[in-house]
Amino acid sequence: MSVTKEELDKIASEYHDKDVMQDKFIEDECQFYTYKWVFEQMAGCRTVLEMGYGEGNFTHELVERGYTPTVIDGSGQLLAKAREIHGDKIETVHALFEEYVPAQKFDCLLATHVLEHVDDPVGLLLHMKNWITDNGKIIIIVPNKESLHRQLAVIMGLQPALDTLGARDVLVGHQRVYSLGTLEEDVLKAGLAVKAKAGFFLKTLPNSMMLQYSVELIRALNQISPMLPQDLLANIGMVAGKA
């Protein structure tokens, strides 16, 4: 059963709007690190649809870089917060992704940490394919089930399988974790082509065990990403376009 707007507002209240979530500095630093790769992929894009407001980090960066993004979210609570912060520098759409029909096609869809949340990722990608221009791009980032920290957890008997969802996954509404292979499979099933791949963040432990790490160490664990195999990193990125 698809998530409702009310359930998305509940997640907003219980996670995004709570300053007491101790691991936010880890998640924020990981997002900040992806900016360079994401905006390199967005070269030449003028119109941008951001799927989900989340913490607002990407919305802030888009506005700072001169974009006027359209932000779609099923949570009216998060969109109200976005409008309060950014005013007429953004457009907002209160809708579930699955029901959205845009009035215009976009050069770029920013789908960071989206596909792990939805009931039918292939169906959504098929839907999204209709939202982009002929040369448009879908920029995807999802958690990686083959991350080093998950592999260590299985070896130690802390979780039964690489794709087991933990308490934090449940809290933020995750339904799955991907690998590079399974993400590519879903992209291809939707009739899209893979244009680029990336990996981010050498995560050695769950967030709950990294709370005492310094910001400098979290940044270094991100900065080392290009030196390592993509399939060992905590998050994976992929750019999809029309075949």
Name the β-bridge partners of 70.
Answer: 49, 91
Least confident of 8-12, 135-139, 194-198: 8-12
Taking a C-beta distance cutoff of 8 angstroms, is the pair 72, 5 a contact? Answer: no
Could you give the C-alpha distances from 38 to 128, 187, 243, in angstroms and in order? 18, 18, 20
Look at the chain and report how many structural domains it folds into.
Answer: 1
CATH of the domain at 47: 3.40.50.150
Binned at pLDDT 50, 70 and 90, residue 21 comes out as confident
Residue found by looking up tokens 């979290």 in the block: 218
Q: What is the pTM of this model?
A: 0.91
Binned at pLDDT 50, 70 and 90, residue 91 comes out as very high
Token couple for 98: 């699955």
User: Using alpha carbons only, what angle is made at residue 199 by residues 211 and 190, rounded to the nearest 5 degrees?
Assistant: 120
Structural domain harbouring 49: 5-242
User: In this predicted model, what pLDDT tens digit does every residue of 93-123 receive, in sequence order?
Assistant: 999 999 999 999 999 999 999 999 999 999 9
